[in-house]
Structure 1
Amino acid sequence: MKDVRDFHCFSDNENYENTFTFTGSTQGQDLVPPGPIYRAVGEKVLFITITSPQLSHIVTWNFMNKNIVTFNPPATEMVDPEYIGRVSLNKTSGALELSNLIMADSGVYTVTFTSTDSTSPQQGHISLQVFELVSDVALIGPEYILIEHNSAQFTCVGNGTVITTEWMKDNQILAPSTRFIFSADNRTLLINPIRRSDSGEYQCTLSNPVSSNTCNYRMTINYGPNVWIMGTKVVEKDSDVLLLCSSASRPAATVTWTVNGMSAGHSPLYVAESSNLSHSGEYICTAWNNVTGLTASAVHFLTVKGKLSPGAAAGIAAGVIVGVEVLIVILYSLITHFK
């Protein structure tokens, strides 16, 4: 039996919506809008100003106690050597564009409008956070055949700046429990023990405010068999015997009938036409799962009686008819399920 495990991954970096909340520094909001601002490595950012400087104002943008650019009207502009080719100052509005962002550009930027008439300078502060795009996410799961009551471990790996890790199963968020155990960094999930109901599609999403990447893994749990026999316990001589051996098993179990110690076939539905007294006795259905290696049996005792009174015969006949109908419905369901 082939063990079914399937996984696929996808990225949503291009159309990622910012739904994160970070604590950022934003002061002097008369000069700059609220922040923080989130960008990806390699992108550019435009620090806009709400209040434009007066013609006589000196405009300075500072980062980490270093003046990135200073404009002293009417024409003098000084750019720090490290930022040449990366910054552009709008001399009218005071807005600053910083391109080719790197992780080290994260921090608080300060803009200052200084008047030449010695009045107090105006300042605004805004925070920038630069992230590497999340990429190459993989959900590493068990590579062995999974059997109920064992354990399964998943690890979510990827590149880039990972801020959050989210786990889902069949589009429902997974939460910690006595069986679902997450590592401290939330990157590893241990399910112990696994149950048949744990079969399904698992999803891990790594994300930050500017990107996300998701990988899926389909897990199939093998289990069983659990066996039971359905059918009447008393039949009239010359009537047909119909018994159904039903088993809950993945993969489907191999069925063997034993009637009064003798092998009697491998079909889930046991049929004996025109029964006689020799058909009375012990009917055993044994189911074997070739993946789990487990075997289970159920026992059914049948009594074949001689001709009964019309009333008793009618009652048994009615019971047999109902039983046959039930067996047909169940057999159809089983055949449909295991196609």
Structure 2
Amino acid sequence: MTLPYLLGVCLGQSQKAVGGSVEFRLTNLPSTTPDTFTWLFGSMAICTAIADTVAISPSYRDRASVDGTTVTLELRNLTLKRVSDPAIMISGSPDPLVAGKSSVSVTCEAKGSITTRKWMKNGGTLSPEPDRVIISEDNRTVSISPVQKEDTGEYTCQVSNPISNVEASATLIVNYGPEAVIIKGEDHEGAAEFKEQ
């Protein structure tokens, strides 16, 4: 039984023109060509070679070729899909959000070839706060725990690539109690005052 191993990761040039082509070559080619290898884009197989047979995924069939000796992959007719259908999903504590008690996650989803994802709040850049406002590494999700009254506002996710830019917005409302309450009045024996801090 032969276990698979990683020959290497190869990154192509990102500035190739739509409709053009790009070659991916291994820089540390093994001394003997492997009997079996697979080229992947993310987790999707572009092609798999077993012995002298190369199987190319249907979605790449007319746009990809592989040199079995050098393990070089060529992609032709490069495409870039427009970003579309942005949507923001809010999850976490049920409504209403209560300052100091509730937690919330705001997630941005979109379709297409996303190269940039950016969060804004009330028109300005949303900044993370250590241990309270966390933005995921891929900028998909903003998690706030616990929410504070200052978190109320319009949250906008902008997603883009070189040919399109779209955004979606959602409003968070954080409820909070009265602050520095002073109740003045008279009781039966004279003036009384009650303060809540």
What amino acid is aligned across from residue 195 of structure 1 in structure 2?
Answer: Q
Is 1:37 the counterpart of 2:26 in the alignment? no
* Equivalent residues of 2:103, 2:145 under 8 A apart: yes
CA distance in 1, matches of 2:147, 2:141: 16
Q: 1:64 to 1:136 in 2, by over 3 A?
A: closer
Change (3 A) 1:228 1:103: farther
Contact 1:154 1:190 in 2 (8 A): yes
Offset, 1:159: 1.3
Select 1:162's aligned residue among 114, 119, 124.
Answer: 114
1:206 aligns with 2:116: no
Structure 1: segments with no counterpart, 5+ residues: 1-22, 26-34, 39-44, 48-62, 66-101, 108-126, 230-244, 246-256, 262-277, 285-296, 300-339
The structure that has the greater radius of gyration is 1
Is residue 144 of structure 1 aligned with residue 95 of structure 2?
yes
Q: Deviations over 1:63-99 (max 9, x none)?
A: 679xxxxxxxxxxxxxxxxxxxxxxxxxxxxxxxxxx
Give SS of 2:150's match.
helix
Query: 3-state SS of the aligned residue for 1:224?
Result: coil
The alignment partner of 1:197 has SS state of helix
Which residue of structure 1 lines up, in the alignment, with residue 138 of structure 2? 185
> What is the percent sequence identity of the aligned residues?
29
Structure 1 position 282 matched with structure 2 position 192: yes
Q: Distance in 2 between matches of 1:217 and 1:190?
A: 14
Give 2:125's match in structure 1, choosing from 173, 180, 183. Answer: 173
Q: Which residue of 2 aligns with 1:24?
A: 13
Q: Look up the match of 1:117.
A: none
| Shift, 1:212, TM fit | 1.9
Question: Which is richer in helix?
Answer: 1
Post-superposition offset of 1:141: 1.5
Q: Which runs of 5+ in 2 are unaligned?
A: 1-11, 24-58, 65-75
Q: Distance in 2 between matches of 1:259 and 1:221?
A: 35
Deviation string 1:241-287 (CA, Å, 9 cap, x unpaired) is xxxx5xxxxxxxxxxx66327xxxxxxxxxxxxxxxx6x32134xxx
The number of aligned residues is 136
Cα offset, 1:128, TM superposition: 6.9
Quick one: which amino acid aligns to residue 175 of structure 2?
Answer: N
SS in 2 for 1:205: strand
Looking at structure 2, the residues matched to 103 and 175 of structure 1 have their Cα atoms a distance apart, in angstroms, of 40
- The question of whether the paired residues in 2 share the 8 Å contact of 1:105 and 1:130 is answered with no
Q: Matched residues in 1 for 2:116 and 2:62: separation?
A: 21
Q: TM-score if structure 2 supplies the norm length?
A: 0.56
